[in-house]
């Protein structure tokens, strides 16, 4: 006889999200009884246009002078934003994300799998966000990476002092001279140069399309490891001779990579903190592959480093 293999459910616990508030459910239930008679409230097209454009351009105006700009809304950038938004409602924080969809590589766990692994002690960050997980001893598993990313994203977007400009690329860094005895050509970073990503992608086939700018005393770059968009700020630091060369991300070693990324999260040049996998291109750290604890905790540390600089 062949013993059937019990593959079981991949997730044993009931990980259902909390039920909706009853008031909202009641209103919806009433609606559902009246499909024949219901109509939407009246609208004119220009009202829709104005509702969007007025807010977008007010945001561009408000955030032209920001306290902190975060480049990249991947797992590290969003974790950084969450910590800063929660602790400092007085700071104006802009997140610039090149992609239409924020979240970077954190919509899937690894390869194209769903579950997301976080090594302990990074589950502390999941507890903070209220993301459920299964405990596997030295690490925890979130049912779907998208549950982590969407929860984090919703928390970040709820802070009134944080604005996410997605579909917007950082094309350059604003610099000011900050000579030191060791390096008379040293600069400090004083903001970012931006363009809508679709514009950035067409510099080769259209005439010059000049960018926009955001001034900020502190920029936190979390643009991921080298790739078509990745390691943006670090690569620019090399070309403007503020870093000698790229460290060159090393091969995969989960054992050492995560500790290294968190420990090395820091202000790399004056006014620019680097976090997440972009750091592997500064110091030549290993990659960790599909385990996301270091991204969350690098974000926690980047926020802490940022507040030290801001409160200096
Ligand atoms: O679109 C990019 C992504 O969402 C965005 N970005 C990159 N360049 C940008 C630019 N302007 C605006 N010039 C830009 N946005 O930055 C985000 C980076 O997210 P990510 O998920 O790639 O990086 P992360 O460091 O937050 O997380 C890395 C996750 C990885 S990679 C890895 C491995 O390869 O071993 N392991 C893990 C856990």
Spacing, Cα 273 to ligand 1 middle (Å): 15
Residue whose token pair is 């797992």? 75
CA of 247 to the centre of ligand 1 (A): 17
pLDDT of 10 reads 56
**What's the pLDDT score for residue 13?**
52
pLDDT at 228 over 80: no
For residue 15, the model assigns a pLDDT of: 52
Distance of CA 68 to the CA centre of its chain: 13
Give the strands of the sheet with 168-177, arranged side by side: 168-177, 187-196, 212-215
Burial class (CB in 10 A: 0-12, 13-18, 19+), 71: buried
User: Is 148 touching ligand 1 by the criterion CB < 6 Å?
Assistant: no
At 36 the pLDDT is 93
Could you tell me the distance, in angstroms and rounded to a whole number, from the CA of residue 102 to the centre of ligand 1?
10
Average pLDDT over the chain, rounded to whole? 93
Lowest-pLDDT range, 30-34, 124-128, 149-153?
30-34
ipTM over 0.90: yes
Ligand 1 atom with the smallest distance to the CA of 294 is 38
């Amino acid at each position: 006889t062949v013993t059937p293999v019990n593959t079981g459910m991949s997730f044993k616990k009931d990980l259902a999200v909390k039920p909706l508030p009853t008031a909202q459910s009641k209103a919806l239930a009433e609606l559902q009884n009246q499909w024949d008679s219901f109509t939407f409230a009246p609208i004119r097209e220009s009202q829709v246009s104005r509702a969007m454009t007025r807010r977008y351009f007010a945001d561009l105006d408000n955030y032209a002078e920001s306290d902190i700009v975060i480049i990249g809304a991947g797992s590290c950038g969003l974790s950084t934003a969450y910590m800063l938004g929660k602790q400092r409602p007085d700071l104006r924080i802009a997140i610039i994300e090149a992609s239409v969809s924020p979240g970077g590589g954190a919509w899937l766990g690894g390869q194209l799998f769903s579950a997301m692994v976080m090594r302990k002690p990074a589950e502390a960050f999941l507890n903070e966000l209220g993301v459920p997980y299964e405990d596997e001893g030295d690490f925890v598993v979130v049912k779907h990476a998208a549950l982590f990313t969407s929860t984090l994203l919703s928390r970040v977007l709820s802070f009134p002092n944080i604005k996410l400009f997605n579909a917007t690329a950082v094309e350059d860094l604003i610099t000011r001279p900050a000579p030191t005895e060791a390096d008379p050509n040293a600069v400090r970073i004083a903001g970012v140069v931006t363009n809508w990503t679709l514009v950035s992608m067409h510099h080769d086939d259209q005439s010059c399309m000049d960018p926009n700018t955001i001034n900020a005393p502190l920029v936190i770059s979390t643009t991921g490891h080298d790739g078509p968009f990745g390691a943006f700020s670090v690569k620019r630091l090399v070309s403007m001779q503020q870093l000698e060369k790229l460290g060159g991300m090393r091969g995969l070693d989960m054992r050492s990579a995560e500790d290294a990324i968190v420990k090395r999260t820091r202000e790399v040049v004056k006014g620019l903190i680097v976090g997440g996998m972009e750091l592997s291109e500064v110091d030549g750290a290993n990659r960790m592959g599909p385990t996301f604890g270091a991204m969350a905790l690098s974000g926690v540390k980047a926020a802490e480093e940022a507040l030290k600089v801001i409160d200096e």
